[in-house]
Amino acid sequence: MRFGIDIDHTCVKMTVLNLLLNGFFHAEVMWGDSLSPDDFKLSCVTSFLPFWIFKIKQKENSHLWHSHKAAFEKKEGVSKPEIVIPFRDSAPSVSGSQLQLF
């Protein structure tokens, strides 16, 4: 199954039509912000039988919205690694001459 999310309604329509014409059936494209898990305006699904594009207006009926929202949920037991950046105690001396580089 193919999925896509776009913030522009025109791009969603073009993507769904392109998927249908290229034979990608059971694909879903959602109109919403991919950086926000709760943003849902409309979802379109391609189908082979019956052959057409169907609109999903309720986010609870969209498989893509559920999987997209699950990606943003915090998983328990997983901690972020601590990043340690080494620092120098003293700054390098600058003499103003590039000849010291060689």
Domain residue spans in the chain?
3-72
Give the pLDDT band of residue 90 (cuts 50, 70, 90): low
Looking at the predicted structure, is the pLDDT value of residue 24 above 80? yes
pLDDT at 14: 95
Please tell me the pTM assigned to this model. Answer: 0.67
Starting at the edge strand that comes first in sequence, how are the strands of the sheet with 52-56 ordered?
3-6, 28-31, 42-47, 52-56
pLDDT at 27: 93
Mean pLDDT of 25-54: 91
**Contacting residues for 56 by C-beta, under 8 A, at least 6 apart:** 28, 42, 43, 44, 45, 62
pLDDT at 50: 87
Compute the distance between CA of residue 44 and CA of residue 57 in angstroms, rounded to an integer.
9
